[in-house]
């Protein structure tokens, strides 16, 4: 006999488990179905374990320049298996935390892959075979790394992001196809581990979604570290060989016939494929576009009782976006279900989504880029402040980078922020909060910031846009 719930969430990643908790807080009887470990890709194979790897790499690089701090440390080198082990431990801790949260919020968790029988019924064919009936569903099945034509993932020579974080040892040479956040973070990590890294990107800059100035500064930093960056270059005719992988490179700075290069391993980081097949979505009327579920501003699909969130609905493919969408979807369902809490629905503002890349130096941004603002007809004023002029950055010994603010010249409203430098993923939150509150350059520049802090650079950038900067 089928179990009955008010809401069943399919997928236990950062979108799904957050949606389940918020729905339980709103009084719904909730079931969550997950085929693997709770926490999804983010906690187990993405956001969290990669940051643990990058912290090991950053600490190693800091130790290597310890003499600049008046310290002597001899022969610092990576213990690669234990770096991987620590990363897996951090991931396991976070996943176990989600299990606790499910119990705390009295959410029923089912193990297995869900398949729809009709719009109110799923079953779990690969595990318990049981049926689950629900008034509402939230699909949060996420996405998986996309394969490059001719380079199927094997975990040995051709790596996905998942494979890249559980290797036994660092390769001598590594090609990374794709210079988005994932490719750049692994370039940083493996370079610190002693690998000769080559990053290949079809577009004209690394981190293509970031402000060009920021991308160029990161490019210079990476090249200085010995990472080869090839932009406006395509990859074709891959060949799996006994001792590696060779690829043909064609594009800017390369001979017309191209150049064939061989690498021990290749990491493919060219995007994702949504996990929406084999669930029988189209059979029950859910509309898919290139595999992604189409939803409205309340995350409702074409079928009124079925909602979808996270990577399975398309960009921006970010864990914190999925979590926010999960909260929004749960609240929309509560409103649709007689709205017992008197909620007022506010659509998600996708123009104010923070984005972070945890390489070193870090990159963080929110809002409009300078050119985007200009193209929309806004009279733009820009304020910049380099970390080289920041006392805290000097004390840290990490002076690369800057804070760049984009604002409306007439009103002073901050429209975007673009940062590269030490811990900028942490200080971005101040700007994001300010933008959400429609603070002006004058208000930010006039707010006292503790000294010495990295966040003073935000105040100084706002002052520079006004012609009032003190320390530059």
The residues annotated with a catalytic role in the active site are: 451
b (16+ CB within 10 A) / e for 185-198: bbbbbbbbbebbbb
CA pseudo-torsion sign 21, 23, 26, 31: negative
Q: What are phi and psi of 398, to 5 degrees?
A: -130, 90
Q: Which residues contact 297 (CB under 8 A, 6 or more apart)?
A: 347, 348
Q: How many other C-beta atoms can be found within 10 angstroms of the C-beta atom of residue 432?
A: 18
Structure tokens at 157: 């020579």
Q: How many other C-beta atoms can be found within 10 angstroms of the C-beta atom of residue 375?
A: 10
Beta strand pairing call for 131-139 and 158-159? unpaired
Structure tokens at 342: 């008197």
Q: What gap in Å lies between CA 107 and CA 23, rounded to an integer?
A: 10
Burial (CB count <10 Å: 0-12, 13-18, 19+), residue 215: buried
Q: What gap in Å lies between CA 189 and CA 197, rounded to an integer?
A: 10
Cβ 200 vs Cβ 177: under 8 Å:
yes
Q: What gap in Å lies between CA 267 and CA 270, rounded to an integer?
A: 9
Count CA atoms closer than 13 A to 115's CA, side-chain side.
12
> Quick one: the chain helix, strand, coil %, rounded to 5?
35, 25, 40
Cβ 148 vs Cβ 238: under 8 Å:
yes
Q: What gap in Å lies between CA 125 and CA 238, rounded to an integer?
A: 38
Nearest Cα to 268, choosing from 172, 143, 147? 147
Cβ 87 vs Cβ 165: under 8 Å:
yes
Cβ 41 vs Cβ 14: under 8 Å:
no
């Amino acid at each position: 006999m089928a179990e009955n719930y008010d809401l069943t969430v399919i997928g236990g990643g950062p979108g799904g488990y957050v949606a389940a908790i918020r729905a339980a807080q709103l009084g719904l009887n909730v079931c969550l179905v997950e085929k693997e470990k709770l926490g999804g890709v983010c906690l187990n194979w993405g956001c969290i374990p990669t940051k643990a790897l990058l912290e090991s790499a950053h600490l190693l690089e800091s130790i290597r320049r310890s003499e600049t701090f008046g310290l002597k440390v001899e022969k610092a080198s990576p213990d690669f298996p234990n770096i991987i082990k620590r990363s897996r431990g951090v991931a396991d801790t976070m996943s176990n935390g989600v299990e606790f949260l499910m119990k705390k919020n009295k959410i029923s968790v089912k193990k297995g892959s869900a398949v729809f029988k009709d719009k109110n019924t799923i079953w779990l064919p690969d595990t318990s075979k049981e049926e689950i009936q629900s008034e509402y569903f939230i699909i949060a099945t996420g996405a998986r790394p996309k394969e490059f034509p001719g380079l199927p993932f094997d975990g040995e020579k051709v790596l996905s992001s998942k494979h890249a974080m559980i290797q036994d040892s660092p390769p001598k040479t590594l090609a990374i196809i794709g210079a988005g956040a994932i490719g750049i973070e692994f370039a940083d990590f493996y370079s610190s581990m002693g690998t000769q890294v080559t990053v290949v990107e079809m577009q004209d800059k690394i981190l293509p979604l970031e402000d060009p100035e920021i991308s160029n500064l990161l490019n210079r930093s990476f090249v200085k570290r010995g990472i080869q960056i090839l932009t406006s270059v395509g990859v074709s005719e891959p060949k799996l060989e006994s001792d590696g992988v060779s690829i043909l490179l064609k594009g800017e700075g390369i001979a017309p016939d191209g150049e064939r290069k061989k690498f021990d391993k290749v990491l493919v980081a060219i995007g994702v494929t949504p996990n929406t097949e084999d669930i029988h979505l189209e059979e029950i009327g859910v509309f898919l576009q290139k595999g992604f579920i189409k939803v409205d501003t309340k995350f409702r699909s074409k079928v009124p009782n079925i909602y979808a969130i996270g990577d399975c609905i398309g960009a921006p493919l970010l864990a914190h976006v999925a979590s926010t969408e999960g909260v929004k979807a749960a609240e929309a369902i509560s409103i649709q279900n007689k709205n017992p809490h008197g909620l007022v629905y506010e659509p998600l503002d996708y123009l104010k989504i923070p984005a972070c890349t945890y390489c070193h130096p870090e990159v963080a941004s929110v809002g409009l880029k300078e050119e985007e603002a200009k193209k929309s007809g806004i009279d733009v004023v820009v304020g910049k402040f380099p970390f080289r002029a920041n006392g805290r950055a000097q004390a840290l010994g990490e002076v690369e980078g800057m804070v760049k603010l984009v604002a409306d010249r007439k009103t002073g409203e901050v429209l975007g922020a673009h940062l590269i430098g030490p811990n900028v993923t942490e200080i971005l939150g101040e700007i994001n909060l300010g933008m959400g509150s429609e603070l002006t350059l004058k208000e930010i520049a006039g707010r006292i910031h503790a000294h010495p802090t990295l966040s003073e650079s935000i105040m100084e950038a706002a002052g520079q846009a006004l012609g009032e900067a003190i320390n530059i």
